[in-house]
Amino acid sequence: MVHFTRRKFIQKTSAVAAGAAAAGPMIWVKDAHAQWNNTVEKGATLRVLRWKRFVQGDEDTYLANAKKFEEKFGVKVRVDSESWEDVRPKAAVAANVGSGPDIILSTNDDANLYPDKLVDVTDLANYLGKKYGGWYPVCEQYLKPDGKKWIGIPLGAAGNCIVYRDSQVKAAGFATFPKTNDEFLKLMKALKEKNTPGGFALGHATGDQSWSFWLVWSHGGRMVDEQNKVVINSPATIKALEYAKELYGTFVPGTLSWLDPNNNKAFLDGQVSVTANGISIYYAAKNSADPKVKEMAADIQHANFPIGPAGVPTEMNLFFNQMIFKYSKYPKAAKEFIRFMMEEEQYGPWMQASIGYTCQPLVAYEKNPIWTVDPKHTPYRNATKVMRPIGFSGKMGYASAGAMADFIMLDMVAEAASGQKTPAEAAARAQQRAERYYKV
Amino acid sequence: MHAAVKEIEIPRATGLSLLARLNNNTMALGILFMLPAAIILLLFLTYPLGLGVWLGLTDTKIGRGGEFIGLENYRSLFNDSVFWLSVRTTIFYTAVASFFKFFLGLWLAVLLNQNIRFKSFMRAILLLPWIVPTTLSAIAFWWIYDSQFSIISWALVKMGLIDKYIDFLGDGWNARFSVIAANVWRGIPFVAISLLAGLQTISPSLYEAATIDGATPWQRFRFITYPLLTPIIAIVMTFSVLFTFTDFQLIYVITRGGPVNYTHLMATLSFQRAIPGGQLAEGAAIAFAMVPFLVGAILVSFFGLQRRKWQQGGKD
């Protein structure tokens, strides 16, 4: 047995390091202190399928980072992008037929649909988690389903905040945006009285339906319990729906038909004072060629959703994951690619280029200057931190994906809010519809 | 005649090459010529349809193979209020839209069959709604019906006829009639142009004779145009009903089935459940549930086409 003293160890390791450095730029030397060991397969090439950018800067920087990876590791990378809603079926088919892109960047609970088809990335998740201050809870809820093994690496989330007209909220008698549901309802009523109403999408809006989850969750309602038993028809849900009915009374007319773009259009036209959205409304105003709209940018403010009787933040945002498929011939290269893209040198500039559309999954990136360069960005910083997964509080999988795609939560809120059904009827119907997915 | 036939020397099949024998065999040639069409039909029609039927009997999800579960999907759909809502909406949508498309299309066709100025230009213009990609016209209608920016509401408000914007797509029935109007607008050209083609096959001498006999324009239409047009009407309306019943794009762009599933057609519900929802088998079952309705429409058309009395405008 060889005994190393501290001095001997340092001498030996620095000699190895010096030798390695002399032999050329070898990544393992640099990474030795961060416990990351990986050797990319010889002759590896990678295909990456990702969701289509929301802002140009995202795509430009992502591709530039991929190019950097190519140059550094000699691995050819091809990046394709599709609309985020189309990635889901494509990824599922790839998983099923065992052929397709090596890495897929997808959304929400996709990884939970075929966990056995994905490469175990626990080592990489642990490495990144340790290096960058840990992952937010929702990351584990989505991608570490059994509490032990990571089936994907989180990329972040597209934040959804309250977007409001500061001057109109102030005119309604509120110096700051309300932090509780009760105050929020008071504000919405006051805005309606001042003839500057707010509005939230109640049509089949895929992205903008998330506020309906907040509404139910904030009152303590939830689709399923921890055992995936459907419990949506509960007194808490009915309370939430009664609240929704009162809230709906303050909305601008027509919200039952709103799809994803409607609230953006109405807000930018000055017809709505409060809505829920990504940072896109602010950017559309800021970059508008119309001086009137540009002027509006100064009056736009953002806030996190109010907190209801549940007593904790209950937001739902669009979660992004990165999955490596087992059929990939180059899983090590794929892991290396994801690691490289998640490192500060690449991820930091990418976040900045994404101008606040994508919120980090790792705590350390909270310090990214994008959140403070403009104080209006700051509320979006918490998107991943405070969010819940779509299948809260059960397990993610086909049932949670199906229930969301079928707009069960949103339809329930819309039915009760508009008075088409009583809150009790709407909750009972949602229970029945959800039970079809969560097969009782 | 018989003697002449006997004198002709019939070449004997034996001793000829396989190709030459094949060339002489009408049965073999028939099969050979039909083969490409049969392969295409089998590959692109029978196989997907068969696969769809099979999927509907399994619990397949996107990305995960399924097992045979018999009629479980149909049993589950039978108790699904959204499914029944979509069936009712689809029937209503098809019936109302086809009714308007037929009468407006026929009216237009009869108008365009007259000697009017700029006839060719008018006929070309008529085709525009049909030529524009459906998604584009659907987006236009989405703006026309917008709750905040609707041109119709704006015009009516400016004219002082209403005092607030119409909620075209936010109210269930309004939304249904709005998408039906969009479908009618898009579908009229197909009906009109097809019927116009039919009208032009009717000999003008029939009209001349009728005019000489003192027939009124209505009588000329009722006793000449309509009976002679019936076979075309049967075909055109079959297609129109099939297109309308299986409509997808208009609904998906304008309402996505909302508000609260009021405008979900069976096709849009099938897609929503199968692709974004991942429940491939259930989506297939919904799609297959459309087949009896479609077969019914085709049978009515065939029945109509075969009936001479119908073709002549009579009754059974």
> What is the mean pLDDT of the segment spanning B216-240?
89
pLDDT tens digits, B100-145: 999 999 999 988 888 878 888 888 888 888 888 988 999 999 999 9
Asked if A297 and A267 touch (Cβ cutoff 8 Å), the reply is no
> What is the mean pLDDT of the segment spanning A39-52?
94
Summary mean pLDDT of chain A: 90
Q: Please name the residue of chain B whose CA is at the shortest distance from the CA of residue A268.
A: B148
A207: phi then psi, degrees, rounded to nearest 5: -85, -45
Asked if A235 and A408 touch (Cβ cutoff 8 Å), the reply is no
Q: Which amino acid is at B111?
A: L
C-alpha dist (Å) from residue B270 to A405, A432, B83, B246, B274: 12, 19, 9, 11, 6
Sign of the alpha-carbon torsion through B187, B188, B189, B191 = positive
Q: Give chain A positions within 8 Å (CB) of B81.
A: 429, 432
| Integer Cα distance of A116 and A195 in angstroms | 54
Do A131 and A210 lie in a common domain?
no
| Integer Cα distance of A426 and A432 in angstroms | 10
Q: How confident is the model at residue B1 (pLDDT cuts 50, 70, 90)?
A: very low
Q: Pairing mode, if any, of strands A318-324 and A274-277?
A: unpaired
Of A91, A205, A254, which is closest to B167 when you measure between CB atoms? A254
C-alpha dist (Å) from residue A269 to A284, B166, B252: 12, 18, 25
Test mutation, B141, B153, B260, chain A, max A CBs within 10 A: B260
Question: Can you give the pLDDT at residue A79?
Answer: 97
Question: Can you give the pLDDT at residue B189?
Answer: 93
**CATH number of the domain bearing residue A404:** 3.40.190.10
| Integer Cα distance of B147 and B228 in angstroms | 46
pLDDT tens digits, A213-269: 999 999 999 999 999 999 999 999 999 999 999 999 999 999 999 998 899 999 999
Q: Decide if B59 touches A, using CB distance below 8 A.
A: no
Q: Name the minimum distance, in Å, from the CA of A208 to any CA of chain B.
A: 13
Q: Name the minimum distance, in Å, from the CA of A332 to any CA of chain B.
A: 24
Asked if B225 and B113 touch (Cβ cutoff 8 Å), the reply is no
Q: Please name the residue of chain B whose CA is at the shortest distance from the CA of residue A94.
A: B63
* Cα dihedral value A134, A139, A145, A150, nearest 10: -60
Enter the pTM of the model.
Answer: 0.84
Token output for B61 = 């999800």
> What is the mean pLDDT of the segment spanning B268-289?
92
Task: Give me the residue label for tokens 């609309």.
Answer: A83
Per mean pLDDT, which range of A20-24, A296-300, B45-49, B137-141 is the poorest?
Answer: A20-24
Chain A, 387-426: which have a CB under 8 Å from a chain B CB?
398, 401-402, 405-407, 411, 414-415, 418, 420
**Boundary of a domain, candidates A380, A398, A413:** A380
CA A345 from centre of chain: 21
| Integer Cα distance of A42 and A202 in angstroms | 52
> What is the mean pLDDT of the segment spanning B240-251?
93
| Integer Cα distance of A223 and A415 in angstroms | 16
pLDDT tens digits, B28-57: 888 989 999 999 999 999 999 999 999 999
Q: How confident is the model at residue A17 (pLDDT cuts 50, 70, 90)?
A: very low
Token output for B173 = 């029935």
Chain B, 118-157: which have a CB under 8 Å from a chain A CB?
145-149
For chain B, domain boundaries? 85-311
Question: Can you give the pLDDT at residue A6?
Answer: 44
| Integer Cα distance of A126 and A132 in angstroms | 10
Do A307 and A204 lie in a common domain?
yes
Asked if A61 and A349 touch (Cβ cutoff 8 Å), the reply is yes
Determine the length of chain B: 316
Q: Decide if B165 touches A, using CB distance below 8 A.
A: yes
Q: Decide if B80 touches A, using CB distance below 8 A.
A: yes
Q: Please name the residue of chain B whose CA is at the shortest distance from the CA of residue A402.
A: B277
pLDDT tens digits, A134-183: 999 999 999 999 999 999 999 999 999 999 999 999 999 999 999 999 99
Q: Give chain A positions within 8 Å (CB) of B264.
A: none
Q: How confident is the model at residue A9 (pLDDT cuts 50, 70, 90)?
A: very low
* Residue B65 DSSP SS3: coil
> What is the mean pLDDT of the segment spanning A417-437?
93
Q: Name the minimum distance, in Å, from the CA of B15 to any CA of chain A.
A: 52
Q: Decide if A50 touches B, using CB distance below 8 A.
A: no
| Integer Cα distance of A214 and B202 in angstroms | 66
Question: Can you give the pLDDT at residue B19?
Answer: 81
Asked if A418 and A131 touch (Cβ cutoff 8 Å), the reply is no
Question: Can you give the pLDDT at residue A377?
Answer: 95
Q: Decide if B82 touches A, using CB distance below 8 A.
A: yes
- Cross-chain Cβ contact A405/B273 below 8 Å: yes
Of B165, B277, B278, which is closest to A254 when you measure between CB atoms? B165
Do A177 and A279 lie in a common domain?
yes
Per the structure, the count of domains in chain A is 2
Among residues A296, A298, A279, the alpha carbon closest in space to that of A354 is found at A279
Do A294 and A322 lie in a common domain?
no
Beta-bridge partners for A80: A49
pLDDT tens digits, B82-106: 999 999 999 999 999 999 999 999 9
Do A284 and A199 lie in a common domain?
yes
Asked if A225 and A392 touch (Cβ cutoff 8 Å), the reply is no
Of B170, B272, B277, which is closest to A254 when you measure between CB atoms? B170
CB neighbour list of residue A372: distance below 8 Å, 6 or more residues apart: A378
| Integer Cα distance of A384 and A390 in angstroms | 13
Of B147, B168, B277, which is closest to A405 when you measure between CB atoms? B277
Do A52 and A70 lie in a common domain?
yes
CB neighbour list of residue A437: distance below 8 Å, 6 or more residues apart: A398, A399, A400, A402, A403, A406, A408, B279
Number of neighbours of residue A227 by Cβ within 10 angstroms: 9
Question: Can you give the pLDDT at residue A22?
Answer: 38
Do A143 and A184 lie in a common domain?
no
Token output for A195 = 């003839």
- Cross-chain Cβ contact A203/B63 below 8 Å: no
pLDDT tens digits, B295-313: 988 888 777 666 655 555 5
Do A420 and A282 lie in a common domain?
yes
Judged on CB neighbours under 10 Å (0-12, 13-18, 19+), A102 is buried
A1 assigned to some structural domain: no
| Integer Cα distance of A113 and A89 in angstroms | 11
Asked if A217 and A310 touch (Cβ cutoff 8 Å), the reply is yes
Do A204 and A55 lie in a common domain?
no
**Domain region containing A107:** 37-151+318-380
Q: Decide if A440 touches B, using CB distance below 8 A.
A: no
| Integer Cα distance of A62 and A73 in angstroms | 16
Of A203, A271, A402, which is closest to B258 when you measure between CB atoms? A203
Asked if B73 and B80 touch (Cβ cutoff 8 Å), the reply is no
Q: Give chain A positions within 8 Å (CB) of B168.
A: 257
pLDDT tens digits, A114-125: 898 999 999 999
A136 assigned to some structural domain: yes
Question: Can you give the pLDDT at residue A299?
Answer: 96
Q: Give chain B positions within 8 Å (CB) of A269.
A: 148-149
Question: Can you give the pLDDT at residue A1?
Answer: 38
| DSSP secondary structure letters along B41-70 | HIIIIIHHHHHHHHHHTB--BTTB---B-T
Q: Decide if A430 touches B, using CB distance below 8 A.
A: no
* Residue B207 DSSP SS3: helix
Test mutation, B58, B147, B275, chain A, max A CBs within 10 A: B147
Q: Give chain B positions within 8 Å (CB) of A414.
A: 258-260
Architecture of the CATH domain B85-311: Orthogonal Bundle (1.10)
| Integer Cα distance of A381 and A378 in angstroms | 5
* Cα dihedral value B114, B118, B120, B123, nearest 10: -70
Question: Can you give the pLDDT at residue A95?
Answer: 87
pLDDT tens digits, A308-337: 999 999 999 999 999 999 999 999 999 999
Q: Name the minimum distance, in Å, from the CA of A408 to any CA of chain B.
A: 9
Q: Pairing mode, if any, of strands A45-51 and A103-107?
A: parallel
> What is the mean pLDDT of the segment spanning A27-54?
78
Do A341 and A376 lie in a common domain?
yes
A135 assigned to some structural domain: yes
Can you tell me the ipTM of this complex? Answer: 0.79
Q: Give chain B positions within 8 Å (CB) of A85.
A: 276
Of A85, A92, A433, which is closest to B63 when you measure between CB atoms? A92
Test mutation, A256, A275, A327, A429, chain B, max B CBs within 10 A: A256
Q: Name the minimum distance, in Å, from the CA of A253 to any CA of chain B.
A: 7
Chain A, 189-208: which have a CB under 8 Å from a chain B CB?
202-206
A78 assigned to some structural domain: yes
Question: Can you give the pLDDT at residue B84?
Answer: 95
Of B147, B261, B277, which is closest to A254 when you measure between CB atoms? B147
Asked if A256 and A418 touch (Cβ cutoff 8 Å), the reply is yes
| Integer Cα distance of A97 and A92 in angstroms | 9
A6 assigned to some structural domain: no
Chain A, 171-190: which have a CB under 8 Å from a chain B CB?
none
Question: Can you give the pLDDT at residue A329?
Answer: 96
pLDDT tens digits, A75-97: 999 999 999 888 988 898 898 88
| Integer Cα distance of A23 and A21 in angstroms | 5
Chain A, 51-90: which have a CB under 8 Å from a chain B CB?
85, 88-89
Q: Decide if B21 touches A, using CB distance below 8 A.
A: no
Q: Please give the sequence-ordered ranges of beta strands (E in DSSP) within A243-363, or none if there are none.
A: 274-277, 300-303, 318-324, 358-359
Q: Decide if B163 touches A, using CB distance below 8 A.
A: no
Per mean pLDDT, which range of A21-35, A188-202, A356-370 is the poorest?
Answer: A21-35
* Residue A297 DSSP SS3: helix
Of B82, B256, B278, which is closest to A401 when you measure between CB atoms? B278
Do A420 and A285 lie in a common domain?
yes
A23 assigned to some structural domain: no
Q: Name the minimum distance, in Å, from the CA of A437 to any CA of chain B.
A: 9
pLDDT tens digits, A344-356: 999 999 999 998 8
Asked if B271 and A274 touch (Cβ cutoff 8 Å), the reply is no
* Residue A334 DSSP SS3: helix
Ramachandran sector of residue B118 (left: φ over 0; alpha: ψ -120 to 50; beta: rest): left
pLDDT tens digits, A349-401: 999 999 889 999 999 999 999 999 999 999 999 999 999 999 999 999 889 98
| Integer Cα distance of A29 and A130 in angstroms | 18
- Cross-chain Cβ contact A257/B81 below 8 Å: no
Cα A31–A37–A32 angle (5° rounding)?
A: 30
Radius of gyration of chain A from its Cα atoms, rounded to whole angstroms:
24
Q: Decide if B204 touches A, using CB distance below 8 A.
A: no
Q: Which helix (H) or strand (E) holds B90?
A: helix B81-112
Do A87 and A124 lie in a common domain?
yes
| Integer Cα distance of B120 and B136 in angstroms | 25
Beta-bridge partners for A359: A157
For chain A, report the end-to-end CA distance as a whole number of angstroms: 61
| DSSP secondary structure letters along A120-181 | --HHHHHHHHHHTT-B-HHHHHHH-TTSS---SEEEEEE--EEEEEHHHHHHTT-SS--SBH
| Integer Cα distance of A38 and A124 in angstroms | 10
Omega before A393 cis (within 30°)?
A: yes
Of B168, B255, B275, which is closest to A204 when you measure between CB atoms? B255
Q: How confident is the model at residue A111 (pLDDT cuts 50, 70, 90)?
A: very high
| Integer Cα distance of A435 and A224 in angstroms | 10
* Residue A439 DSSP SS3: coil
